[in-house]
Amino acid sequence: MSYRRLRAIFIKELHHITRDARSLGMALAVPVMFLLLFGFALSLDVDRIPTLVYDQDGTAESRDLIRQFAGSRFFDIRGWVNDYGEIERAIDRNRILMAVVIPRDYSRNVDAGREASVQIVLDGSDSNTASIALGYAESVVRNDSLALRTTTMNRRGGERVTSPVDARLRVWYNSSLESKNYVVPGLIAVILQIIAALLTSLTIAREWEMGTMEQILSTPLRPAEMVLGKMLAYFVVGLADATIAVLVGVFVFDVPFRGSVPLMVVSTCVFLFGALFWGIFVSAAAKTQLMAYQLGILSSFLPAFLLSGFVYSIESMPTVIQVITHIVPARYVVTILKGIFLKGVGIRVLWGELGFLALYAVLVFVLATRKLNQKLA
């Protein structure tokens, strides 16, 4: 392999990139646009749940329970109703997600020490959100029930009764439980996968369509030198995209960065190598730029978004799909970025994921070189 030929193809490709100012601007702006759009719009937090109250009891005890819901940040009391028909109409029109129904005998049962029922009506169209809302509602009712039981026993027994268990919860790594801290690091990985594959997916196909490949063939340039030279040119753009994405995540979204900057740089570089080589392989395999673009989208966006664990938990997927996710490189870089950002873990924990990315980069480089060699032959 000749350094002079490698440098020549690198400089040639850089000239292609810098001369197309609009494409270069889009390549640098798209990560910011994606981060801002998905970072603000894609929220996994379930709070301020729109709620109606149907209080058939109208007593101090029922009003105290309603105050417990109103005081929680998870519920937003939108009003009171007088029958089930109003609840049904509000759910049908998507005005509310939940309704709290307190029966007429609620306070009488509480005062008598009997079991008092509270009905929670939920819109189950979105099963995941409804399940989370139900969990929040059960927690509020359970805490209110415990307070009522303690008050009743204290009044009857003449002495204060305390809970035998003092549960103290401590949340590690994302103590504020904000979904942006979970979403943004994974989003950076997905964006880099998509941008890197699309940047290089057109490069070889464009050479054939523009007729410049014949000129390249007249030179002593080897397939491996062409692949490396083109990759290094787009690697500069990809590294700039990665830097922009990380800065936006840290300074715009305030995502904590607890890990090692050198490990972050090394991991990003190794991942970019593999993603860029994959784009070149797709470009070498495709016959036209349109086909290369479609293959690049299909092979980068969908796996990175759906099978990387970025949003959807891999553990909850069917077993066959879980097996398939092991060959998706975005899965490993999502794990690495979340570990570096949120947990501050190092190479002792992430060496397996980093090793897979390195192996993937070498394998795709070999495939791209062989495919290009076949096309040139």
Question: First vs last Cα of the chain: how many Å apart?
Answer: 19
Q: How far apart are CA 356 and CA 208, in angstroms?
A: 33
Provide the pLDDT confidence category of residue 164 given band limits of 50, 70 and 90: low
Residue whose pair of structure tokens reads 């190598």 in the numeric block: 273
Residue (of 232, 268, 266) closest to 249 by Cα position: 268
Provide the pLDDT confidence category of residue 375 given band limits of 50, 70 and 90: low
pLDDT digits (tens, 9 = 90+) for 363-372: 999 998 888 7
pLDDT digits (tens, 9 = 90+) for 316-345: 888 899 999 999 999 999 999 989 998 888
The whole-number average pLDDT for the span 74-94 is 91
Residues 6+ apart with CB under 8 A from 366: none
Average pLDDT, the chain: 83
49 beta partners: 75
104 three-class SS: coil
Residue (of 189, 177, 338, 187) closest to 259 by Cα position: 338
* Residue 54 pLDDT: 93
Structure tokens at 28: 């640098």
pLDDT digits (tens, 9 = 90+) for 282-316: 888 887 878 888 888 888 888 888 888 887 788 88
Residue (of 376, 349, 170, 154) closest to 260 by Cα position: 349
Q: How far apart are CA 275 and CA 199, in angstroms?
A: 10
- The ranges assigned to domains in the chain are 3-43+178-376, 49-157
Provide the pLDDT confidence category of residue 266 given band limits of 50, 70 and 90: very high
Residues 6+ apart with CB under 8 A from 178: 45
Q: How far apart are CA 339 and CA 250, in angstroms?
A: 15
The number of beta carbons lying within 10 Å of the beta carbon of residue 60 is 8
102 three-class SS: strand
246 three-class SS: helix
Instruction: Answer with the residue of higher pLDDT: 108 or 269.
Output: 269
Above 90 in pLDDT, residue 43?
A: no
Above 60 in pLDDT, residue 157?
A: no
- Give me the sheet containing 75-80, strands edge to edge: 75-80, 49-55, 98-102, 119-122
The whole-number average pLDDT for the span 13-29 is 78
DSSP 119: E
* Residue 272 pLDDT: 92
* Residue 352 pLDDT: 92
Structure tokens at 107: 């306070």
Provide the pLDDT confidence category of residue 60 given band limits of 50, 70 and 90: confident
Above 70 in pLDDT, residue 162?
A: no
The whole-number average pLDDT for the span 41-70 is 86
* Residue 155 pLDDT: 64
Instruction: Answer with the residue of higher pLDDT: 375 or 207.
Output: 207
Residues 6+ apart with CB under 8 A from 302: none
Structure tokens at 344: 């501050």
* Residue 377 pLDDT: 58
Residue (of 291, 185, 287) closest to 246 by Cα position: 185
Above 70 in pLDDT, residue 34?
A: yes
Instruction: Answer with the residue of higher pLDDT: 324 or 207.
Output: 324
Q: How far is CA 23 from CA 28, 237, 370, in A?
A: 9, 11, 29
Residue (of 190, 275, 187) closest to 237 by Cα position: 275
Above 80 in pLDDT, residue 81?
A: yes
Fold of domain 49-157: abc type-2 transporter like fold (3.40.1710)
Helices (H), the chain: 3-19, 21-41, 60-71, 84-92, 106-112, 127-157, 179-200, 203-210, 213-217, 223-251, 261-285, 289-306, 319-325, 329-338, 347-376
Percent of residues, the chain, with pLDDT higher than 70: 92
pLDDT digits (tens, 9 = 90+) for 217-260: 667 778 788 888 888 888 988 898 899 889 988 898 888 898 89
Q: How far apart are CA 248 and CA 78, in angstroms?
A: 36
Fill in the amino acid letter for 259. G
Above 60 in pLDDT, residue 144?
A: yes
Above 80 in pLDDT, residue 65?
A: yes
Least confident of 157-161, 202-206, 276-280, 358-362: 157-161
